[in-house]
Structure 1
Amino acid sequence: MNESPNESKRVSVNSLCPALSFNDQEIERMFAILDEFGRFDPPAGEISIAFVSKSEISRIHEVFMQNDSPTDVITFSGDPDDGTAGEICVCPTIAQSYAKENDKDFAEELTLYLTHGYLHLCGFEDIEDDDKIEMRNAEQVALKTLVEQRAMPNFSLRL
């Protein structure tokens, strides 16, 4: 990889959540750090991030997975031939609710969702029990890496 973790990572961020505050460069750096220091197999191409509402994530979940319940994150693989690594759709409202109910930090919870989506793009799965364990371990490695490299994005959500 040619990019430094301090340079812009190939990330496109779109937010359909006007109450969410974030810094695009922090998100780009997060993925660059994971690519460089995370010991994962990162996909080639641009990563698209979409912050969406609870109703939108429910709609996406139903259309693509035949389940109309809201979920926290949905990941779609890209096509390296087209220069796309994939898209990560995340619902900040669900992250906020979960964080509040479980006495967790909202920014860390949302970063976990982005990390989870990234790991899916790196080939991790979480359907089978063994895969879930592997995914949870990879999430912990990724989050530890982000903390060590001081690359945790700062998010806030106005309710």
Structure 2
Amino acid sequence: MTLSLEWIDEREDGAGAQEEAWMERLETLLKIAGEAEGVESGIVTLTLTDDEGIQTLNRQYRGLDKPTDVLSFSMVESAGDEPEVRFEDEYEAAGESGEWEDADRAGDPFSDLLGDIVISVPRAEAQAAEYGHSFERELGFLFVHGFLHLLGYDHDSEADEKRMFAKQEEVLAKAGLTR
């Protein structure tokens, strides 16, 4: 399995040709960031939403009743203080043969998931204008930021913030998304 990106557009206007180009850029960023972090396989799900959608999630999962730019929900066990997800039902997913192809993951159909990233597109547009760079750069920044959170990076301290932001800038520079 390789590192892959799946995406959902929850905005009322939905996805168009412009968003398809974004996804190509984000897939490139995912590969660069994955390579930099030694992550060779897994699935990242990206949801594009609006301020109202992300505010609902921010309120529900972080207790903050305000919109934000990006949220990350890690499925990686070592990623830190993410809430544990428990599934009570047994899953009967199997390959074409009816047999599990990987017996170690037979009981966990979610084992390939690294996690979910949610980005508010209007917030990304506003921040790009505020910071004086392109929307593509801001979207890429938020995506890489979210990806690093999936892997357990955080910015709770000044040292952690410097480390995380340096990693983000390195990935963005490799993709040609500089300020």
Residue aligning to 1:145: 174
Give, in whole Å, the separation in 2 of the partners of 1:25 and 1:130.
Answer: 32
The AA in structure 2 aligned to 1:31 is L
The question of whether the paired residues in 2 share the 8 Å contact of 1:34 and 1:145 is answered with: no
Give, in whole Å, the separation in 1 of the partners of 2:171 and 2:24.
Answer: 18
Give, in whole Å, the separation in 2 of the partners of 1:40 and 1:114.
Answer: 15
The AA in structure 2 aligned to 1:33 is I
The question of whether the paired residues in 2 share the 8 Å contact of 1:42 and 1:121 is answered with: no
The question of whether the paired residues in 2 share the 8 Å contact of 1:15 and 1:52 is answered with: yes
CA RMSD of aligned residues (A): 2.1
Range 39-48 or range 102-111, more displaced = 39-48
Q: Secondary structure at the match of 1:86?
A: strand
Residue aligning to 1:120: 149
Quickly say closer, same or farther: Cα 1:66–1:41, change in 2 above 3 A.
Answer: farther
The aligned length equals: 140
Residue aligning to 1:155: none
After superposition, what is the alpha-carbon deviation per residue over 1:40-65, rounded to whole angstroms, capped at 9, x for unaligned? Answer: 14384210000011011111011000
The question of whether the paired residues in 1 share the 8 Å contact of 2:51 and 2:123 is answered with: yes
The AA in structure 2 aligned to 1:51 is L
Residue identity over aligned pairs, in percent, reads 21
Residue aligning to 1:62: 59
Q: Could you say which structure has the larger radius of gyration?
A: 2
Q: 2:75 aligns with which of 75, 78, 82?
A: 78
TM-score (norm 2): 0.70
After superposition, what is the alpha-carbon deviation per residue over 1:72-100, rounded to whole angstroms, capped at 9, x for unaligned? Answer: 10000025852211000001100111112
Task: Compute the displacement of 1:26 (Å).
Answer: 3.5
Unaligned runs of 5+ in 1: 4-8, 153-159
Q: 1:46 aligns with which of 43, 47, 65?
A: 43
TM-score (norm 1): 0.78
Q: Secondary structure at the match of 1:22?
A: helix
Quickly say closer, same or farther: Cα 1:128–1:75, change in 2 above 3 A.
Answer: same
